[in-house]
Structure 1
Amino acid sequence: MEPYKARNNEEFDEIVREYVNDIRKIIYTYVKNHHTMEDITQEVFLSAYRNLGQFRGDSAIKTWLIKIAINKAKDYLKSWNYRAIKVTNLIKEDSVSRKTEQVIIDNDWDQELARVIMDLPIKYREVIILYYYEELDTNEISNILNINLNTVKTRLNRSRDLVKRRLDFIGEISKADKKGT
């Protein structure tokens, strides 16, 4: 296939407008920080703009952008900067963790589900997000993540099981708290 070429900056701006929210969601599932998400989102579109001529159209442009976003997010998570921030946050988490149980009880179903998904290990979280929220099929996910199709299917099944078990556990806690009051 021939490389994709935006005819002008307005055409690229339209690509950004169409996919920026999807890219933000994907990045947030990795970094769990709004400021970092915005920075990485800018990097993704800057990289896409610079490399648009190399996009051959073997996949949808959305798939290509998601792949760039995942790679940028994973690079950030490997960086020394992220690791330093994570250690600092561990010190602060102790006071926050006491509030977590109450937050879970007070939240509605969607918020609980989102929290459970965000707490999954990345390898499970990414397949859930790509499959259910980005509505990509397992073949597309396999291509984006550069992993075997059967690995995608296994991770999808395990992540569903983890989400179900964690939601069941939250339901049991909620029932126990209601009986106690």
Structure 2
Amino acid sequence: MDKEEKDFILEKLMVEYGDELVRLAFSYVKDAENAKDLVQNTFIKCYKNLDSFRFDAQIKTWLYRITINECKDYLKSWNHRMVQVKSFIHDTAISLLPSTEHAVIDKHHEQYIKNTIYSLPKVYREVVYLYYYESLKTTEISEVLDIPANTVKTRLRRAKQRLEPMIKEAELHER
């Protein structure tokens, strides 16, 4: 494959899947700028390895797998851990200010469902995200995560079982 052909394919993939991959990365790292950086890394790896892609699988699932692996590597990194500590300190200091008390409460209500999903263990969170937010079928999720389709179904069922009481409890508190 020559350079112009690879450039054309990459540009097409970026236009078609860029936003989806950023949302996917955001579901892992919970930071828009880091999500964009990780997706950029995904497309760099895609470009470098485009010659070796055999088209046995869908290119979409291949890009999802690369993105998820980038996110997992980032979350294990020292840089991410330091950012988390700094962010916690900053958020704690801000929340102690009386003028921002209402803003923090409002933000909490708006983000509750998303945060509830994010509070799930990673194995449940990723299948919920891919199934409900990216509309992937269980077989596609199976390919992306490299797990059996029945495992995907089990994780979805268990995630629903965990989410149900959390959402009911939140509804009681809002009344």
**Structure 2 CA distance for partners of 1:119 and 1:93, relative to 1, 3 Å:** farther
Contact 1:6 1:12 in 2 (8 A): no
Post-superposition CA distance 1:59-81 (Å, at most 9, x none): 11111100000000000001111
1:169 aligned residue: 169
Query: RMSD over aligned Cα, in angstroms?
Result: 2.4
The equivalent position to 1:21 in structure 2, one of 19, 23, 27, is 19
- 1:45 deviates by 0.5
- 1:112 deviates by 4.0
1:16-165 pair list within 5 angstroms: 16-94=14-92, 95-96=94-95, 100-105=104-109, 107=110, 112-165=112-165
2:9 aligned residue: 11
- 1:100 deviates by 4.9
Unmatched tracts of structure 2, length 5 or more: none
The amino acid across from 2:47 in the alignment is Y
TM, length-normalised to structure 1 = 0.81
Tell me, what secondary structure is at the counterpart of 1:56? coil
Contact 1:63 1:144 in 2 (8 A): yes
Tell me, what secondary structure is at the counterpart of 2:5? coil
* Distance in 2, Cα, partners of 1:120 & 1:100: 22
The amino acid across from 1:125 in the alignment is R
Contact 1:128 1:156 in 2 (8 A): yes
The amino acid across from 2:16 in the alignment is E
Aligned length: 168
Unmatched tracts of structure 1, length 5 or more: 176-181
